[in-house]
């Protein structure tokens, strides 16, 4: 006679329902602790850059790569949460922020230019993302486009152009690409992206757009150019002070968009 006990019958976990109305496992935030709009830098150490624009700043949580601060800007309650690098952690951050009340997202990150004339510190507003990642394939077929919210993107473009012009820099808009493997981007791949007219390459936007679209949320992105992969302006060549200035301009453009649209 066997002495092993039979495993109890059970159903697989439904992750769409797990953890609702509770403190979120990865970002460490509970409902009511954040605002309806979130700025999303990748690096947790750039969240304080957003906080420099805010009043009544409060750090809500810092768990893993996800650091969150809140504050006020021109009468709007603002949240800033870092996503970490890449689409997997970005999808987690957006899913969990949505569960605690965020309805609009603006990525403010770094990105490399792929067309001539883009200089470090210039602003890059994404009109859509070429899905060269694996995360979004788990959500939707490859043919489904990764596109930001139109009204939000147009407002980002207006504010980015104004802010860049005032600083003597430039703002560009176009299709970006979200890659998974930073060090697998060969010269041949960079040349192909350039040939296709892709404006810039980064690692998070496609997940942001796909999750937002599926969940009925609004999303957009304005990045600061860290380098230009076809002009040879590399972030490795020297201390890139232009990049931090670009980050601050991108944050200002995002905040002004949040105020204009009452996000």
35-85 pLDDT, tens digit per residue, is 999 999 999 999 999 999 999 999 999 999 999 999 999 999 999 999 999
> pTM value?
0.94
Q: Would you state the pLDDT for residue 18?
A: 81
Q: Residue 14: CA atoms inside 13 Å, Cβ hemisphere, count?
A: 5
| Residue 59 DSSP one-character state | E
Q: Would you state the pLDDT for residue 19?
A: 86
More confidently predicted of 241 and 191: 191
Q: Would you state the pLDDT for residue 241?
A: 84
- Burial pattern 40-60, b for ≥16 Cβ within 10 A else e, equals bbbbbebbebbbebbeebeeb
Residue 10: is its pLDDT beyond 80? yes
Lowest pLDDT segment from 10-14, 27-31, 96-100, 172-176? 10-14
Tokens of 9: 């019958």
In this prediction, residue 235 has a pLDDT band, given cuts at 50, 70 and 90, of low
Lowest pLDDT segment from 137-151, 160-174, 231-245? 231-245
Lowest pLDDT segment from 124-133, 191-200, 226-235? 226-235
Q: How far apart are CA 249 and CA 45, in angstroms?
A: 17
């Amino acid at each position: 006679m066997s002495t092993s006990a039979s495993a109890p019958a059970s159903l697989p976990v439904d992750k769409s329902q797990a953890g609702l109305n509770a403190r979120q496992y990865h970002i460490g935030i509970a409902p009511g602790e954040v605002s309806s709009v979130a700025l999303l830098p990748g690096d947790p150490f750039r969240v304080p850059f957003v906080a420099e624009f805010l009043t009544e700043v409060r750090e809500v949580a810092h768990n893993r790569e996800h650091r969150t601060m809140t504050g006020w800007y021109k009468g709007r309650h603002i949240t800033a949460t870092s996503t970490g690098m890449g689409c997997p952690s970005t999808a987690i951050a957006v899913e969990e922020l949505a569960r605690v009340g965020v309805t609009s997202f603006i990525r403010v990150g770094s990105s490399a230019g792929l067309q001539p004339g883009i200089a470090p510190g210039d602003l890059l507003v994404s009109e859509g993302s070429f899905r060269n990642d694996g995360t979004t394939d788990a959500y939707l077929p490859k043919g489904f486009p990764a596109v930001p919210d139109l009204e939000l993107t147009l407002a980002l473009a207006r504010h980015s152009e104004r802010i860049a012009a005032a600083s003597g820099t430039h703002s560009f808009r176009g299709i970006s690409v979200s890659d998974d493997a930073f060090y697998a981007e060969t010269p041949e791949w960079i040349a192909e992206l350039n040939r296709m007219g892709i404006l810039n390459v980064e690692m998070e936007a496609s997940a942001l757009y796909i999750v937002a679209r599926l969940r009925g949320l609004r999303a957009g992105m304005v990045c600061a150019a860290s380098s230009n992969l076809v002009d040879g302006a590399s972030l490795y060549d020297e201390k890139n002070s232009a990049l931090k200035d670009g980050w601050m301009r991108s944050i200002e453009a995002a905040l002004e968009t949040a105020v204009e649209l009452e996000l």
